[in-house]
Chain A
């Protein structure tokens, strides 16, 4: 699957089905600090992502 990351903006390819929480864990990201958007729609932690999905991992923490 294509995974779009922010700060800075970049794209990575991740192979193999997995849940949202498994994806965040594999990227070393705390699930409290990110939302995952699958094909334009928010996805909960146990949603299963597949190779054909386009994923955005969006950070939600701001430093102001």
Chain B
């Protein structure tokens, strides 16, 4: 027989999850209520969205992007999705399937782009040719193409699934380096301007664990497996360090990031270098840039048409480097 232990703080029914940072347990229904309220508070506190906004959600097929899309639809927003195929082998094929099924089952609009089909390269090939980490080409491509899709599609705002753990980890890294310009820009909202769309992060008050629980309770099938390119990156190391602190001192991550936004970020206002000075249209694609050709078009010019580098080649190289380094 399975013993039922803790009870929901709200209704006293059997709990399904413990949330030490709230010093409470919750049943499925009241976990969902908590998540909805945290998203509503983030949206209201930071003026993220208006009821009439046309919203474009950056969808990866993982828990956070599907959860934020689900929550926004649940709250009544008009939100379409955009998925970008990155060419990371089976991982990308599977993630596309999760995104497609989520949208189809709910009758939502999901636009699908593919880096190789439409721009002639993929993330592993770009990483190999540029000799940079794959996350660099991935991030650059996503930012550029989501911005472009929002401009061309007439969307008011781009939503991403960055959660409290993501933001706390980035803040941790920026703080370790005292990177003041990045710290000053690390806010839940990037306003529209200079040809860039407004970008918002409605999940900044919710942890990864809470988002995974949202998906499980809501029956959302998402890609659990991690991107093979991300293994061993600094972002994961920062998250592990913060979770070690969180385990002994629940609420530390939320205090670290949310108090930064409330108390520290205003003191840094003006220290950010927006890069907006001297912006002009890219001579190739028309996107705003400080140079003649934007970073995305420079990357594309360098790597498009190069022989495809399978993801396995990069992973094998990564393993060899780790072995040589004694890791």
Q: Which of A30, A43, A47, A64 has the most CB of B within 10 A?
A: A64
Number of A-B contacts (CB under 8 A): 98
Name A's interface SS: loop
Instruction: Select from chain A the residue with minimum beta-carbon distance to B19.
Output: A44
Within 8 A of B (CB), among A28-50: 30-35, 37-38, 41-50
Which bracket fits the contact residues of A?
20 to 34
From B45-53, B232-240, B311-319, give the one contacting chain A.
B232-240
A47 touches B4 (CB 8 A): yes
> Which residues of B lie under 8 Å from residue A34 when comparing CB positions?
209
Give the distance to chain A from B210, nearest Cβ to Cβ, in Å.
Answer: 9
Instruction: Select from chain B the residue with minimum beta-carbon distance to A45.
Output: B18
In the assembly, what is the distance between CA of A63 and CA of B169, in Å?
Answer: 10
B244 touches A30 (CB 8 A): yes
Is B186 in the interface zone, CB < 8 Å from A?
no
> Which residues of A lie under 8 Å from residue B18 when comparing CB positions?
44-46
B208 touches A61 (CB 8 A): yes
Q: Which of A19, A33, A48, A59 has the most CB of B within 10 A?
A: A33
In the assembly, what is the distance between CA of A60 and CA of B233, in Å?
Answer: 16
A33 touches B235 (CB 8 A): no
In the assembly, what is the distance between CA of A7 and CA of B1, in Å?
Answer: 30
B233 touches A63 (CB 8 A): yes
Contacts A59-B224, A62-B208: A53 and B243 contacting too (C-beta < 8 A)? no
Q: Mark B30-56, 1 if CB is under 8 A from A, else 0.
A: 000000000000000000000000000
> Which residues of A lie under 8 Å from residue B240 when comparing CB positions?
30, 33, 61
Instruction: Select from chain A the residue with minimum beta-carbon distance to B216.
Output: A42
A60 touches B209 (CB 8 A): yes
Give the distance to chain B from A53, nearest Cβ to Cβ, in Å.
Answer: 7
A64 touches B224 (CB 8 A): no
Within 8 A of A (CB), among B186-223: 207-209, 211-213, 216-217
B62 touches A47 (CB 8 A): no
Give the distance to chain B from A52, nearest Cβ to Cβ, in Å.
Answer: 9
9 CB-based A-B contacts, threshold 8 Å: A30-B247, A33-B239, A44-B16, A47-B2, A47-B6, A50-B1, A58-B224, A59-B224, A63-B230
